[in-house]
Amino acid sequence: MIIKIAKSWADWLVANGASSDDYEIYAYGAECMLNELISDILLIVTALMFHKTFEMILWMLFFTPLRIHLGGMHASSHLKCILSSILLSYLCIFTYLFVMDSPTIMGLILALSIFIVYKIAPVVHPNHPVSESRMIKMRTRTFIIIFIEILITCISFIYFSKIVSGMATVSIFSVCILALFGKFRSYNH
C-alpha cells in the first residue's frame, strides 16, 4: 500500500511538471516519508493508550537524530519496519526504569555507546553506497549528535530529571545496537 501511494504521488509530481528523470527519487522519498509518518502516528497512538506519551516522545527525540546519521539495520519490509519500531520503542520505555537510578550503569552504557559510534559510524546500507566525503560528513554529524545527546543526558541526571536521563540512555544505546546489527549484517552479505 505504501509503495502504491508513493508511486501515485510520484506520478502526480511528474504529471504536474516535475522532471520524469527523477521519478524514482520522488517515489522513494514518498515511500520513506509515508513509512515514517505511519510509524510515528502508531507510536504516539499506542503511547496514548498505554499512558506512556512522555516516554515515547523522549524516545523519539533521542532516537531519531542519532539513527538518521549513524544508520544501521533496516527491516526488509515496511510492515516489519513499523512493527520493529514499535517493539524497540516499548522495549526502551519499559527498561529505562532499570538504569535511571544508577549513574554507574548509565555511565557504562553511554561509554559503550560512544565506543560503538567511534568504531563503526556511519553504518551505510550496502544497497545505498555513499561517497567518501559524504561518509566523513555523516561520521562528523554522528559524533556531534551523540555528544550533544550525552551532554543533555548528564545535565538531566544531575539537575532535573532521572526519567529523561534514563530514557535518553536507553534510546542512545538502542540506536547503537541497531548500528551493530547493521554492520554485522552487511559483513555477512
pLDDT digits (tens, 9 = 90+) for 60-70: 999 999 998 89
How many whole angstroms from its chain centre is CA 96? 17
Q: How many domains would you assign to the chain? A: 2
- The domain in which residue 144 lies consists of 51-187
**Pair 119, 28 in one domain:** no
Mean pLDDT of 81-107: 89
Q: Are residues 8 and 79 in the same domain?
A: no
**In the chain, % of residues over pLDDT 70:** 96
- For residue 189, pLDDT beyond 50: no
Task: Judge if 158 and 120 occupy the same domain.
Answer: yes
Are 29 and 110 in a shared domain?
Answer: no
Nearest to 119 by CA among 73, 33, 28, 184: 184
How big is the chain by its Cα radius of gyration, in Å? 18
Query: Is residue 79 domain-shared with residue 137, that is, in the same domain?
Result: yes
Q: Does one domain contain both 14 and 88?
A: no
Which pTM was predicted?
Answer: 0.84
The residue from 49, 69, 88 where one domain ends is 49
Compute CA distances 88 → 39, 52, 76, 97, whole Å.
Answer: 12, 14, 16, 15
CB 173 within 8 A of CB 112: yes
Pair 75, 10 in one domain: no
Give residue 75's pLDDT. 76
**61 shares its domain with 88:** yes
Same domain, yes or no: 166 and 111 = yes
What is d(CA 73, CA 9) in angstroms, rounded to the nearest whole number?
27
140-172 per-position pLDDT tens digit? 999 999 999 999 999 999 998 899 999 999 999
User: Nine-digit cell at 1?
Assistant: 500500500
Cβ(3)–Cβ(31) below 8 Å:
yes
| Inter-axis angle of helices 53-70 and 23-49, nearest 10 | 150
- Mean per-residue pLDDT, 133-137: 88
pLDDT of residue 28: 78
pLDDT > 70? residue 188: no
Q: Are residues 4 and 81 in the same domain?
A: no
Give yes or no: residues 62 and 137 share one domain.
Answer: yes
pLDDT score of 107 more than 50: yes
pLDDT, position 6? 78
Q: Are 101 and 181 within one domain?
A: yes
